[in-house]
Structure 1
Amino acid sequence: MNNPVKPIPCEIIDIKKESLLEYTFKVKTDIQPDHGQFLQLSIPKIGEAPISVSAHGEGWMDFTIRSVGKVTDEIFNKQVGDTLFLRGPYGHGWPVEDEFKGKHLVVVTGGTGLAPVRSMLNTCFENDGYVKSLTLISGFKNEEGIIFKEELKKWKEKFTTYYTLDRDKIDGWNVGFVTDYVKEVPFDSFDGNYAVVVVGPPIMMKLTAEKIMSLGVPEEKIWVSFERKMSCAVGKCGHCRIDETYVCLDGPVFNYTKAKYLVD
């Protein structure tokens, strides 16, 4: 029987600078996660951190990481050919096959919230007819914080896109918050056959969900993903627990009918 908490050494095969503070690390691995799941990345004697999978394929997996603490700072010191330790995948990802496939999909992201939906977006892009349509509203604080620049440009070819910066003005980008642009989505034309995904900081998800519901969207059509400090990732330590809910086990993806109650 495999040990669910035993880290596996994996070789870093590529490192890409995405923005001022975010890098994407590609590792060699046969692990095949579902869209939206996370893994625990660790460095011996330093610690570990839960990181969502931003892309995966045959024999590899991407993690887009923001340098914000001891473990991630140490990961940023790694070079191609070095080793990262992985365990997982954990949690419930996006219900792509059951809830999204064949529907009009609306995805709203803030900042690095684009990372947990990147692999799902690429699946929709690469498979014509996988969804009826896809609307992507993606916002960043400033130009220096933009990630996945090449894919943002590529997705415009097939998706309806609204890319926005909080205040910066640059060619091809809107100015403002993602909540300013959800009113542009023609929900009434979808005949109820749609789903909405919202990912970003907690306050952004709350305000965006409220704005979307004010347009007549039922809460059961909205899905969000929580970022928590998952330590054990198997529901034993309680670090990610909110009331009776273990985010590592029951999430990180939640329908908004449940997510609206998950407040610290």
Structure 2
Amino acid sequence: MGNNHYIPFPSKVLAVSKHTDIEYTFRMAYVGDVRPGQFFEVSIPKYGEAPISVSGIGSDYVDLTIRRVGRVTDEVFEYYTGRTLFLRGPYGNGFDVSDYAGKEIVVMAGGTGLSPVRGVVEYFAEHPEKRQGMTLICGFKTPRDTLFRSDIEKWQKTMNVILTVDCAEGDTACQVGLVTEFIPQIKLTTPRTAVAIVVGPPAMMRFSVQGLLGIGIPEENIWISQERKMCCGLGKCGHCRIGEAYVCLDGPVFKYTIGKNLVD
């Protein structure tokens, strides 16, 4: 990529996993430093670019979970294993697992918000000795909209996982309710030293943070991820600017003490 960070580089599609009718995870060839919560600009010549959060990290790959919502992503879904996409990045400020090591951890994710935080959950699922108790509350609209089913089943073996849906659609195995309704079920030994991550739609994040504050987790111990249309990734175009902050540079991951003041 040289010194010009606007120039994309080719990346081979190593594997494709289908989650729902409109959401797939593309495993892309990549070697380099990257954190959960950062994002890449995924591009196709003649179609444009789309910012996609990193949902998984390996020694020679990154996972990008893509939702089919527009012209660029529609075209991406025509590509399968062995083909090539173009990437720029990684961009932004991601999650640093060292911020949560050795502590009680709560992660709350709504819908596709599970994607950017998946790397953090996976890390502490594989290294339970590096944290204390851990609770994951993830919510989806219906059972058909659930992402990372096999991962969730695996995570249940090493942490407290609460999976809920807005509408069960007849699936009696599903819990029904908003993620905030399950906050009272979180068991914390010392709430003042616990840490939390909240990612999802704005309303979900707002009420989830209020609930976490209500059980004693300090606001300085809470992280959020802001969703914005991040076009350049370099703080030049201004599309993602909120006040004095550029989400593509200063975020998308923010301490809640900062993020709560980012209001359009």
Q: Same fold (TM over 0.5)?
A: yes
**CA RMSD across the alignment:** 1.3
TM-score by length of 2: 0.95
Alignment-derived partner of residue 87 in structure 2:
86
Contact preservation (8 Å) 1:32, 1:57: no
SS for the counterpart of 1:192 is: helix
Contact preservation (8 Å) 1:14, 1:80: yes
Rounded to whole Å, the distance in 2 between the matches of 1:172 and 1:193 is: 34
* 1:27-74 superposed Cα distances (whole Å, 9 cap, x missing partner): 112133112111111111111111111111121111111111111111
Structure 1: unaligned runs, 5 residues or longer: none
Alignment-derived partner of residue 161 in structure 1:
161
Contact preservation (8 Å) 2:143, 2:174: no
Alignment-derived partner of residue 139 in structure 2:
139
What pairs up with 1:1-264 in 2 under 5 angstroms? 1-97=2-98, 99-168=99-168, 169-187=170-188, 189-190=189-190, 192-264=192-264
SS for the counterpart of 2:130 is: coil
Contact preservation (8 Å) 2:194, 2:217: no
For 1:116, give the aligned amino acid. Answer: P
Deviation at 1:166, TM superposition (A): 0.7
* 1:163-208 superposed Cα distances (whole Å, 9 cap, x missing partner): 1011215344311000000111123x22522100000011111111
Contact preservation (8 Å) 1:36, 1:94: yes
Q: Which runs of 4+ in 1 moved over 4 A?
A: none
* 1:103-152 superposed Cα distances (whole Å, 9 cap, x missing partner): 11100000011111111111111113111121000100001100100011
Alignment: residue pair count: 262
Contact preservation (8 Å) 1:32, 1:56: no
For 2:254, give the aligned amino acid. Answer: F
Rounded to whole Å, the distance in 2 between the matches of 1:44 and 1:31 is: 24
Rounded to whole Å, the distance in 1 between the matches of 2:215 and 2:30 is: 43
